[in-house]
Structure 1
């Protein structure tokens, strides 16, 4: 596909301060499961890049800009890693400040009762490639109380850049693995 090299050249010529970020190391299980998730066309605008930090938050903070469909992990030295995301649709969007309460690889999914009431076809599911939480999940809490919102992977990568979820922040599986590896439990998350 020629679009990505052309896009990269355009970024360099435009003077943007974008730098690609190498893929994280994957386990054998990650490679096996990710190969089972359907491929999707990918808009390079939502690729993972190191950029100048637009958030002005302390290093280690995660900032989700819902209107931009971008998540920023603030780094030292005025930099950030920017990831494309899907966000909650208008009826289910959430904003606020939380913290990463726990993290899980290939997590089980237990949809909340409200979701099951809206969509009776959804059900609890073991972790794996068809699980809607994808490769990793960061569970968010507010003063020790589960918000029921997550930052997680997806088995629908074609929806990155859209407002489609029930409030959770979805990422490409390779991107959520990268974020998971960089962020400790206790990190601040700002969704705006």
Structure 2
């Protein structure tokens, strides 16, 4: 599996497209923010624009590992654990922590993606994909995130846009 050199997230498609050497190599369903796109701290929105993977957290953890404050709690998600904490925003398996690259749009001040703790992270398999339901992050299936994690280097560019990507949606994968 080639290392990815660009991730493109379409809010309209609710899809992550991963590119290696300019060719589409990965297509994964995601869930972005229920509150839609937006950059302001406290908005619960998914930030737009050019970002980068600033940190990778969770290498080697079991699939479904529960992360709180970017640390493993020692728990692995189960339906029973979910029932004990019904309102929790589950961050599972791995974290790809994003940092904005556009000062004033998604970097620094009240729009800083990194300080908003915006991640690509796993979520319970009971949660739907392809539907905006997150609190601002980009949720993925745990198995998809675990497979993606080692293919995405720190500093990998991540473009998040509202627009649909019809030419990519139907392109064959490498």
Give the TM-score normalised by structure 1: 0.56
Q: CA deviation at 1:158?
A: 3.0
Alignment of 1:38-187 (within 5 A): 60-76=5-21, 78-91=23-36, 92-105=45-58, 106=65, 108-110=67-69, 126=73, 128-130=75-77, 132-143=90-101, 146=114, 147-187=116-156
- Kept in 2: contact 1:102–1:185 (CA 8 A): yes
Larger radius of gyration: 1
Indicate the structure with greater helix content: 1
Q: How many residues get paired?
A: 123
2:130 partner SS = coil
Partner Cα separation in structure 2 for residue 154 and residue 84 of structure 1: 12
What is the root-mean-square deviation of aligned Cα atoms in Å?
2.7
Give the TM-score normalised by structure 2: 0.61
Q: Deviations over 1:71-99 (max 9, x none)?
A: 01112363331001111113523212211
The 10-residue stretch of structure 1 (94-103 or 127-136) with the greater mean CA deviation from structure 2: 127-136
Partner Cα separation in structure 1 for residue 8 and residue 57 of structure 2: 20
**Which 5+ residue runs of structure 1 have no aligned equivalent?**
1-20, 22-58, 112-123
Larger relative contact order (Cα-Cα within 8 Å, sequence gap ≥ 6): 2
2:25 partner SS = strand
**Which 5+ residue runs of structure 2 have no aligned equivalent?**
37-44, 59-64, 78-88, 102-106, 162-174
- Kept in 2: contact 1:88–1:94 (CA 8 A): no
